[in-house]
Amino acid sequence: MRVLEAHGELWDVHAQGSWIAITTNGVIRTNGHGVMGAGLAKQAADRFPSLPSLLGTHLGRFGNIPTSIPSMRIMTLPTKHHFRTASDLALIQNSLQHIQLILTRERIDRLYCPHPGCGLGQLSWQQVQAAIVHVVDHRFLFLHSTA
């Protein structure tokens, strides 16, 4: 078994109508919004100004677990408990397992994902890939930048 990968940009595939995963954390601001202040989360919040509010509501109701936002074709992918800490491999594994259930329930046949926990999450792709190889299925495609 292996993790499916391709060269590409998440926002390019999103613009073509595909579902993408956005890495998130479990912190809610005092205004009720989820913290989306850096990296891919900030890019998503800039593109979809209502997203931090939707994330905050979800976090308050259900905790730091994935959710889908069909109107935006976005799936949240929690990788951190707090935005100031490193990403957690167990949280990434649990998040991807939960996302599998959402993909099945909502009949989504492809989800384009970043390398979760890498970059601002301080994990290497090799670490993450080894931890998720038995968690993800053919519906997940992990993109790495062509730049």
Residues 6+ apart with CB under 8 A from 53: 32, 33, 34
Q: What is the pLDDT of residues 2-55, one digit of tens each?
A: 899 999 999 999 999 999 999 999 999 999 999 999 999 999 999 999 999 999
Torsion on CA atoms 147, 78, 66, 3, rounded to nearest 10: 50
Q: Where are the domains of the chain?
A: 5-23+64-144
pLDDT tens string 104-116: 999 999 999 999 9
Tell me which CATH homologous superfamily contains domain 5-23+64-144. Leucine Aminopeptidase, subunit E, domain 1 (3.40.220.10)
Q: How confident is the model at residue 1 (pLDDT cuts 50, 70, 90)?
A: confident
Rg, C-alpha atoms of the chain = 14
